[in-house]
Chain A
Amino acid sequence: GQNIDQPTEMTATEGAIVQINCTYQTSGFNGLFWYQQHAGEAPTFLSYNVLDGLEEKGRFSSFLSRSKGYSYLLLKELQMKDSASYLCAGTLYGQNFVFGPGTRLSVLP
Chain B
Amino acid sequence: NAGVMQNPRHLVRRRGQEARLRCSPMKGHSHVYWYRQLPEEGLKFMVYLQKENIIDESGMPKERFSAEFPKEGPSILRIQQVVRGDSAAYFCASSPGGEDTDTQYFGPGTRLTVL
Contact = CB atoms under 8 A, between A and B. Distances in A.
Q: Do A and B bind each other?
A: yes
Interface in B62-115: 91, 93, 95, 98-109
Contacts of B33: 96-97
A63 interface: no
Interface in B22-44: 31, 33, 35, 41-44
Interface string B1-22: 0001000000000000000000
B109 A101 contact: no
Interface residues of B, number: 29
Nearest to B97: A95
Q: Main secondary structure on chain A at its contact with chain B?
A: strand
27 contacts: A31-B101, A33-B103, A41-B108, A42-B91, A42-B108, A43-B43, A44-B106, A45-B104, A48-B101, A50-B101, A87-B42, A89-B43, A91-B101, A94-B56, A95-B31, A95-B48, A95-B55, A95-B56, A95-B95, A95-B98, A96-B45, A97-B45, A97-B93, A99-B43, A99-B44, A101-B42, A102-B42
